[in-house]
Amino acid sequence: MKELEDIIRLQIAIMSKASCPQCHRIILWSVYSNLCNICDCERLENDFSNWTSDNQQVDEFIKELQLRVADYQGNVVEWIPYARFENITPIGKGSFAEVFKADWLDGQIKKWNYDVKQWERVGKMCVALKVIGSSKDEFLNEVNE
């Protein structure tokens, strides 16, 4: 029980409320994250023209999720180009999908760097890739579950 109390105290010590340097709204700030959900939505929306899955329905689905990033506590759905993965190896096959293990070269968004005005990422990380098939509906049903 003492260890749990120490962990909770540590988490409280490294997190505090602060003002977003861009919009000045109050945000939860820590040494690991400085996500302002309002500003993050605007940044993601401003980047819409810089990526595509080459499938309008998939693009619209991802954009819709990005505009609701305020609901996700910093977890952002992104389109990641295939070239940003390496060491792709199959790990399983089901009745309608094949699963692969891969290294995502950039990793997920960690926080916004206000000095250089770009996302900081966690760096290379192992992820699972799932090939669902050629059906758009199959893909959208899978990610909606």
CA gap 14, 55 in Å, rounded: 42
CA gap 83, 107 in Å, rounded: 13
Answer yes or no: is pLDDT of 10 > 50: no
Taking only the tens place, the pLDDT of each residue in 18-46 is 778 888 877 765 545 566 778 888 899 99
How high is the pLDDT of residue 73?
56
Asked if 64 and 49 count as a contact pair (C-beta separation under 8 A), the reply is no
How high is the pLDDT of residue 136?
56
How high is the pLDDT of residue 13?
46
When pLDDT is averaged across residues 93-110 and rounded to a whole number, the result is 88
Taking only the tens place, the pLDDT of each residue in 110-139 is 888 888 999 989 999 999 998 866 655 665
When pLDDT is averaged across residues 86-104 and rounded to a whole number, the result is 89
DSSP letter at 23 equals: T
Q: What is the mean pLDDT of the chain?
A: 78
How high is the pLDDT of residue 39?
85
10 by DSSP, 3-state: which? Answer: helix
Give the count of beta carbons closer than 10 Å to the beta carbon of residue 34: 20
Largest CA distance in the chain: 53
First and final C-alpha spacing in the chain: 37
Select the more confidently predicted residue: 95 or 10.
95
Select the more confidently predicted residue: 95 or 3.
95
